[in-house]
Structure 1
């Protein structure tokens, strides 16, 4: 077992997690076709993985461009000051902005890295100038516009947990 794990995961758990990442809507019966366990055993394992927080939740992945959100930007952001109250206020404001899909605190040239979606470049510009730059504490913003995406929301690699390159 790896020292950072809070739960023991056997090869069945890893195989189950691997299949679920690719086919989240699979029934217990369908999962049993991929992982050699009965549907009731799968149900018990899923319940354990959910209750321990290994499985955070279930989502439907939507294609932004199919829904009129044609621009994605990765935006690095610097804060003016790093005090606890500035960071708390910044985080609360960012949580309230639906255009920001992800926000990561980073070490390096930027304090935060954000993934932002917008209908078009004009809307992105308006969002950055009228909303993001007005968040208290923001000093500078720099965006990289995505031209095309060929890999998105890939499954987590689990091979390091089983000692092989794949979980199954």
Structure 2
């Protein structure tokens, strides 16, 4: 699907505030209501727009601790990889899972109430996921930027995107652009953290 500047503008408006009426969006992007509504429906049908949701303040619902966990598997056979990824999908505290290059096989974002809850999650759930052999955990001290909105371009047309890289039959990541240089590491984890946060 080719997206022109009107469609891209609609996407930016929906990301800014999806509660707007079609008429309000149409006025902001310079279209009449019917063509605007049709573009939204076309983008929904094509999978460009995948859904609508509310943004929730995690601290206000008792999820005050964000942990980034680097996970390694004991093998990378298709069965092990698929079993691990299915288990991750079924584990609510894991809100993001990325298959990566580098030393870790996966990067997980985990949301829990506090350190005690993470220690419990680590030993009762994370280490029991299929194939997990090593977990290195980093406690997030501050979210400097956390934006779910995509930087949709203003004018350039966006053609159909190629398939996302995935794991090959050997279980390793398929070819992808070279990773960006690593940023500076997080500050050291405070010494009061319980044992088991970085285990082999």
Please confirm whether the aligned pair reaches a TM-score higher than 0.5, indicating the same fold. yes
In the other structure, the counterpart of 1:111 is 105
In the other structure, the counterpart of 2:151 is 157
Stretches of 4+ aligned residues off by more than 6 angstroms? none
Alignment of 1:120-135 (within 5 A): 120-135=114-129
Between the aligned partners of 2:64 and 2:106, the Cα distance in structure 1 is: 23
1:31-51 CA-partner distances (Å, limit 9, x unpaired): 122111112111100000000
Between the aligned partners of 1:17 and 1:34, the Cα distance in structure 2 is: 12
Shift of 1:24: 1.4
Is 1:57 the equivalent of 2:51?
Answer: yes
Q: Against the structure 1 CA distance between its residues 155 and 65, is the aligned structure 2 distance closer, same or farther, given a 3 Å change threshold?
A: same
Alignment of 1:30-49 (within 5 A): 30-49=24-43
In the alignment, which of 86, 94, 97 is matched to residue 100 of structure 1? 94
In the other structure, the counterpart of 1:141 is 135
- TM-score under structure 2 length normalisation: 0.75
- Give the match's secondary structure for 2:40: helix
In the other structure, the counterpart of 2:186 is none
- TM-score under structure 1 length normalisation: 0.89
Is 1:26 the equivalent of 2:20?
Answer: yes
**Structure 1: runs of 5 or more not aligned:** 1-6, 164-168
Is 1:89 the equivalent of 2:83?
Answer: yes
Between the aligned partners of 1:124 and 1:155, the Cα distance in structure 2 is: 28
Higher-helix-fraction structure = 1
Alignment of 1:4-19 (within 5 A): 7-19=1-13
- Give the match's secondary structure for 1:48: helix
The size of the alignment, in residue pairs, is 157
Shift of 1:161: 6.1
Between the aligned partners of 2:112 and 2:132, the Cα distance in structure 1 is: 20
**Structure 2: runs of 5 or more not aligned:** 158-200
1:73-132 CA-partner distances (Å, limit 9, x unpaired): 111100000000001111111111100001111111110111110011100111011100
